[in-house]
Chains A and B, each alone.
Chain A
Amino acid sequence: MIIPRLALQSLRNRSLTAVLTVLGIAISVMLLLGVEKVRTGARQSFADTISGTDLIVGARSGSLQLLLYSVFRIGNATNNVTWKSYQDIAEQPDVDWIVPISLGDSHRGFRVLGTTPEYFARYKYRRGQPLAFAAGAQFNDLFDVVIGADVATALGYKVGDRVVVAHGVGSVSFVEHEDKPFRVSGILAKTGTPVDKTLHVSLEAIEAIHVDWQNGMPAPGESVSADDVRKMQLAPKAITAAFVGLKSKLATFRMQRAINDYSEEPLSAIIPGAALQELWGLVSTAETALSIISAMVVATALLGMVTTILTSLNERRREMAILRSVGARPTTILGLLVVEGTLLTLAGVILGTLLLYISLYALRPVIDRAYGLDVNIGLPSTSDLTILAAIVLAGVVASVLPALRAYRLSVADGMMIRT
């Protein structure tokens, strides 16, 4: 038992270097585990973009494309879905609810989405969390708009403000629906999903702003005033996609097949969770890159530890020689240095884990608010523990190197007085 005590006392004697080494290891461990946490958090947040929706229906296309434009508002639909087909699907006995969405207009770079009020009750994210209003309420009037959290912050809108929607999806648009301004009726709470970057209006409003348009341009001299529009029939002719909820999960695949085989119109139905996973598979290279970077960080810290022990050997030449001269065998010296290295790594690993959890508790709400990334705090997973054990083991192995060097140095060498 003399070796651990000697090692501890020797470390205490050189407390500054020891503390710095421990800190170095602690910070790299924290970084490694932190990257792991962020990686799994990012994957989870991504998968949580939409939940509670059983199927997304759109024009016939690949599942990724349909997911990208309907959920992430990236790219455009290949085709629209006719209102007739939408109604056909809505009438299916398996269908519990269906929410149409209509895309294509924008407001200062943010997409405008036409939908029904049911959207706010049915769109769920993060394992079934519903949308919440930070201010105001859902649209009631034809020219009401509900804006996402990012739209509100970026453009500084408040409830009651006037908004003019532009035709098309560019950030600078040449034709605007100026004659029919909208009023902000509600602002949604931050979700960390593309909903934050969207302006929501009713389906009828999308029809209304295009009522006097021809071929993508306002018809000259034929403008219909906003008041006249209110009196018109504004049944939509087409929508971009629809979110579908089913009465039973067991019907999911049956319904998907029925929609994919629907002969009146080429449609595609996708299971959003499955498509999200396919999409994540594409970006998993970035995940691997993150893991490699954090492994490198740990390797650097261990290298630093070896360097510190090796340089200290020179100062401790005499210490070793005295130990040897009072009867310590070379193996004792070897053991002493290995125990030292092990203690340093162990302390580093424990401190690093503690630091990580403290900073996670402190930063979690901040990260969620700023990036919409919900980092799960939870206890270290088995893979985390494996990584930690591997680091300790690597520390032990790394300390063998200076130990072997000390083992070889002779007593005479240590006894010699160098000037």
Chain B
Amino acid sequence: MKASTLVVVLSVAAAAPSFAHEEHRELGAHVHGHGTLNIAVEKTRVSIELEAPGMDIVGFEHSAESAEQKAALAKAKAQLTDPLALFKIPAAAECKLSDAKVELESGGEHAHGKDEKADAHDHDHGDKDGHDHDGKSAHNAFHVTYALECAKPENITSIAFDYFKAFAGAKELDVSVVTEKAQNKFEVTREKPVLDLAGAI
């Protein structure tokens, strides 16, 4: 019985087109103008995670070369370390930043574990940005994690996204909010940069 199964498997394998190089390849999605913001709340601890393409934050995605680009990068990193200015939480929640970590992940060069993971490029802006598309250009993405301590997290009834004012390239954010009470998903856009969280936390 086992042998016959094996024969079947082998014959199928022989008939199928064979790919010589069995390496693992994978491409994650990468959409300009579109970032994700994850918010998790447990008791007084609030953890926020922002992921945004470099295009949204600094306007380029290769490694900074000119002095101007380096300055833009430094400025963006400084802005990103202050989440309470980017995502305005009502003062009544009494939130304090306890940790901020800004990472710049270069999609094309960065290796995840033993498999190389690049990012698929899905331009939704018509490719007008004019950054170089030669072999060495990468798709940098910002990955920022914040840890907040909020004395009264139930007062987080809304978040104003000054993020869109700070970063001209950002168009929308997919916001997921996970609390002990519920799991929610919202879309916040440049046109409507406010998130109503009444009753969600």
Q: Which residues of A contact B (CB under 8 A)?
A: 47, 51, 54, 214-215, 219, 222, 248-253, 261, 263, 266, 271-275, 277-278
Contact = CB atoms under 8 A, between A and B. Distances in A.
B178 interface: yes
A119 B20 CA distance: 43
A274 B176 contact: yes
Interface of B: 1, 4-5, 8, 24, 26, 38, 40-42, 45, 47, 49, 112-115, 117, 176, 178-180, 182-185
B114 A274 contact: no
Nearest to B36: A253
What DSSP secondary structure best describes chain B's contact surface?
A: strand
A51 B113 CA distance: 33
A250 B40 CA distance: 5
B45 A250 contact: yes
A263 B185 contact: no
B176 A253 contact: yes
B1 A263 contact: no
A273 B184 contact: yes
B24 A263 contact: yes
10 contacts: A249-B40, A249-B178, A253-B38, A253-B49, A261-B112, A261-B117, A263-B24, A274-B184, A277-B185, A278-B185
Contacts of A47: 182
> Which of the listed residues B26, B41, B47, B178 has the most CB atoms from chain A within 10 Å of its own CB?
B178
Given A214-B4, A263-B113, A274-B184, 19 more contacts: A51-B182, A215-B8, A219-B1, A249-B40, A249-B41, A249-B178, A249-B179, A249-B180, A250-B42, A253-B38, A253-B40, A253-B49, A253-B178, A261-B112, A261-B113, A263-B115, A272-B183, A273-B182, A274-B185
Contacts of B179: 249
Contacts of B38: 252-253
Given A219-B1, A271-B176, A271-B178, A252 B184 contact: no
B102 to A, nearest CB: 17
B5 A273 contact: no
B31 to A, nearest CB: 15
B42 A249 contact: yes
Nearest to A273: B183
Contacts of B45: 250
Nearest to A275: B185
A119 to B, nearest CB: 20
A249 B40 CA distance: 6
A263 B117 CA distance: 10
A124 to B, nearest CB: 12
Contact of A248 (B8, B26, B42, B113): B42
B114 A263 contact: yes
Contacts of B26: 263, 266
Contacts of B183: 271-274
A253 B42 CA distance: 13
Contacts of B113: 261, 263
B45 to A, nearest CB: 6
B34 to A, nearest CB: 15
Contacts of A249: 40-42, 178-180
A274 B176 CA distance: 7
A277 B174 CA distance: 13
Contacts of A214: 1, 4-5
Given A252-B178, A271-B176, A277 B184 contact: yes
B199 to A, nearest CB: 11
Contacts of A266: 26
